[in-house]
Amino acid sequence: GAGVSQTPSNKVTEKGKYVELRCDPISGHTALYWYRQSLGQGPEFLIYFQGTGAADDSGLPNDRFFAVRPEGSVSTLKIQRTERGDSAVYLCASSSQGTNTEAFFGQGTRLTVV
Amino acid sequence: AQSVTQPDIHITVSEGASLELRCNYSYGATPYLFWYVQSPGQGLQLLLKYFSGDTLVQGIKGFEAEFKRSQSSFNLRKPSVHWSDAAEYFCAVGAEQAGTALIFGKGTTLSVSS
């Protein structure tokens, strides 16, 4: 596609439920990043994929968070047993070479846990 | 510790006036520096980046930034602000190494008055 696509754009879920957030990177981009942006904060790194593998997952806050990229393209961020503190905008970015020459960001998924 | 500080949470500038947004960083390696802009409901758009060479870099939409190693700063400037520049601006630092996550500041909200 023309840009990074994230679905859904908004998600409201009840505390304790499971959610999946999807990211479609720019075609051909091998590197994919997930960030989380809380209200009044800048984006914070969660996980980085190079191809199919998670090369760096040091930003995942706890074991309720998990992400996959089985075919090296689309990625899914999965959150189990959601908590109100998980409410944030989840941003996905992709880049062509896995370096920081330029990462292109999607519009984000706004997750609200009630 | 690696960090990015944007001292100004909110700035209001008159349309046509000049703008400077401040950014200071702390980073252990040679920094790659970025400025992003985020409009409401939109993803992050790269304004400009600095890797090496000329310390004054030009970006899109008439923005420029100057890297000052001695001050650990990378301030963003624009000579004449337009109403459409109202948005949130994020400074970020990263490294050349593939997959290195960007560290973002908390952002500066720019309002433009007529």
Query: Are B101 and A56 a contacting pair, CB within 8 Å?
Result: yes
Residues 38-97 of B with CB under 8 A from A: 41-46, 49, 90, 92, 94-97
Question: Which phi and psi angles does B50 have, rounded to 5°?
Answer: -130, 130
> What are A68-80's pLDDT values in tens digits?
999 999 999 999 9
Percent of chain A's residues with pLDDT above 70 = 95
Query: How high is the pLDDT of residue B2?
Result: 85
Amino acid at A33: Y
Per the CB < 8 Å rule, is A108 touching B102? Answer: no
Residue B72, Cβ density class (10 Å: 0-12 exposed, 13-18 middle, ≥19 buried): middle
- CA separation for the pair A104, A1 (Å, rounded): 12
> What are A35-71's pLDDT values in tens digits?
999 998 999 999 999 899 998 999 999 999 999 999 9
Check if A66 contacts B (Cβ < 8 Å). no
Check if A60 contacts B (Cβ < 8 Å). no
Confidence of residue A102 (pLDDT cuts 50, 70, 90): confident
Query: How high is the pLDDT of residue A46?
Result: 96
Mean pLDDT value of segment B35-63: 92
